[in-house]
Chains A and B, each alone.
Chain A
Amino acid sequence: MGFIEWATSPWGQSVPIHIAWFLIWVAVIAGLLFLIVHAIYVMYFAKPRVFAADDSSAASASIPARVPRHSLVARLFHWIMAASMFTLLFTAFLPKVGIQFNWVTYHWIAGAVLTASIVFHIIHASFWLDFWSIWPDRIDLDDAWKRVRRFFGMPSPPPRKFAKYPLENKLFHGVIILCGLSVILTGVFMMSRVRTIFFPRNPYLFSDMTWGLMYVLHGLAGVGLIALVMMHVYFGLRPEKRAITKSMIFGWMDRDFYLEEHDPERWKVETSSSSSNRIERRGITDAG
């Protein structure tokens, strides 16, 4: 039983055609196992988190009650991306597990929406948001090392509080970029194999081998996204992460949560009275 399905092309060449579909179940089971292990760990074994002392209490007076985190545009992007991602996953994999329906049209339309939203996000994040806030920095790595040492009972000073995004968020974002761009880039080319409104069909754009590898990469990234989306939804529903999830709906998080988890030095919040008023009125503003 291989991870890749192979076939013999009309020219006698052995070429990959797609991933073996049992990998869908591998991804689902791996995702479920992670959730179960993590839930048990948090429930029975996790120690209370300790952060290094900071001057957040001094800064608290200037922090608004509702700390702006995600702009309306950023939230719209997130939910459009989520809807298209769910559509893509369901339309891709339900037929493979026996639920038959007319999936191709929905799949490429959702893929086009995802592609457009990701292109928008790259431009928006590059020029209008704090681009580097989602990428790990040196402090993240130092703190991660401290947390690892403390996890194994080794002496280490406590880590600092997080910047706008915890390291886990940043790493997840990085993995999503890898998988997302893989499915998008391969998916855009794969659209030339079916009838869409975008370009004429051209199944001979690449060689059979290149196409095969493209289908395999598309499939691997796709099943990877099954597990990643399961984890993302799980963390979004966890009680200790609810403030973050709420901020993706309403755009802001409570001051208490902000002060508890985030370092005002690393994530500076807009605190001018005019801005605060604007925040209070609209409930949102650009973050970062």
Chain B
Amino acid sequence: MAVIRDVMPAFELYQPSSVADAQKLLQQHGSDAWVLAGGMDSFDWLKDRIRKPKVVVDLSGIEELRGVRTTGDGVEIGAMTTLTEVVNHPVVKQKYGLLAEAAEVVASPQIRNQGTLGGNVSQDTRCWYYRGGWPCYRAGGNICYADTPEGRNREHAILHADRCVAVNPSDTAPALIALDAKFVLRTPKGERVVDAEDYFIGPEIDITRLHILQPGDLLTAIRISSAWAGTQFYFEKVRDRNVWDFPLLNVASAMVLSGGTIQRVRIAVNGAAARPLRLKAVEDSVRGQPRNKATGEMAGKLSVQGAIPLQFNAYKIPLMRNLVKRAISGVEEATWAS
């Protein structure tokens, strides 16, 4: 009888039924443990035999991590809530349509049925050198194979690259930043709540991670206050094919207008750097300005200041400029410019 030897390496599977149990397991096993949410990112790593954790902690049995709950000041979405549930939730649709729109363009319906909001914001980068198991900076090595004269870097970073040029692939992350969401973490020191934009880190801080979660930490929920509920939203994702694809770039904005003048605005892009970028300079520059073509163009130009293209991704600079322009001035006002 033939023996299949090339199988996924064995690991201990734990399926806790409470956050407390999950946290205990994660603390017990530290960096040996792998957190499994929807599995959409995890199974790639495991089946490609690139990550070989000793322990997998499956969160799917923890009910308290699921569901959208309305709170006194907005909503709290459990980290294990599927993207489909987020998209279909009436309160999310009605008040936080930006998040619903972003979640709806993630991958494919099947993946949205299985993938979770927590997993979507915590997923690893799609750089194929890294995903292919090459010993790059992000994998603990000393080279970036994408940022070389011959490197295939069409999808990589144009901003804030620091040795590694991989980008964050999340669609929901910029929407959550634009909505000023808070991420609720359980750490060995207790509960910690961080702003959405502070959940993500670039290679200059830690080149091996895209977010602040340390071994033993767990993202339990995402809270969105009513501060930006029902405001004017804009989300646009540009990808190579219209379904089942990661963003080349995406943009999300929430805006409050008063008589055609921008009163308040938050805007974020993803796919341009290793972390989703909140464009504070753009926000500051358009606040108090009329929402028109000129303001949009100014915002677009400002957003790409300091961008450094790689060999094959210079197209991302005009792309980002145009996306930001459209997010600020509206599609009707914005004409596409190369």
Nearest B residue to A211 by beta-carbon distance? Answer: B142
Nearest B residue to A18 by beta-carbon distance? Answer: B142
Given A201-B147, A211-B142, decide whether A100 and B206 contact each other with a Cβ distance below 8 A. yes
Binding stretch for chain B, among A4-12, A33-41, A44-52 = A4-12
Within 8 A of B (CB), among A11-47: 15, 17-18
| Contact code string B135-149 (vs A, CB < 8 Å = 1, else 0) | 100011111110111
Interface residues on B, range: 20 to 34
Is residue B163 within 8 Å, beta carbon to beta carbon, of the partner chain? yes
- The answer to whether A101 touches B147, judged by C-beta atoms less than 8 angstroms apart, is no
Is residue B44 within 8 Å, beta carbon to beta carbon, of the partner chain? no
Is residue A194 within 8 Å, beta carbon to beta carbon, of the partner chain? yes
With A and B bound together, what is the CA distance between A208 and B143 in angstroms?
9
| Contact code string B263-304 (vs A, CB < 8 Å = 1, else 0) | 000000000000000000000000000000000000000000
- Tally of A-B residue pairs with Cβ under 8 A? 51
Q: Which of A7, A95, A102 has the most CB of B within 10 A?
A: A7
Query: What are 7 A-B pairs with beta-carbon distances under 8 A?
Result: A7-B140, A9-B134, A17-B141, A100-B205, A194-B163, A203-B148, A215-B142
Is residue A212 within 8 Å, beta carbon to beta carbon, of the partner chain? yes
With A and B bound together, what is the CA distance between A194 and B144 in angstroms?
10
With A and B bound together, what is the CA distance between A17 and B308 in angstroms?
27
| Chain A residues, Cβ within 8 Å of B204 | 102-105
- The answer to whether B148 touches A204, judged by C-beta atoms less than 8 angstroms apart, is yes
| Chain B residues, Cβ within 8 Å of A100 | 201, 205-206
With A and B bound together, what is the CA distance between A194 and B204 in angstroms?
12
With A and B bound together, what is the CA distance between A202 and B205 in angstroms?
23
| Chain B residues, Cβ within 8 Å of A255 | none
Within 8 A of A (CB), among B220-252: none
Q: Which of B139, B142, B163, B205 has the most CB of A within 10 A?
A: B142
Within 8 A of B (CB), among A206-238: 208, 211-212, 215
Is residue B162 within 8 Å, beta carbon to beta carbon, of the partner chain? yes
- The answer to whether B162 touches A104, judged by C-beta atoms less than 8 angstroms apart, is yes
B227, chain A: closest CB distance, angstroms: 30
Q: Which of B145, B162, B201 contacts A10 (CB 8 A)?
A: B145
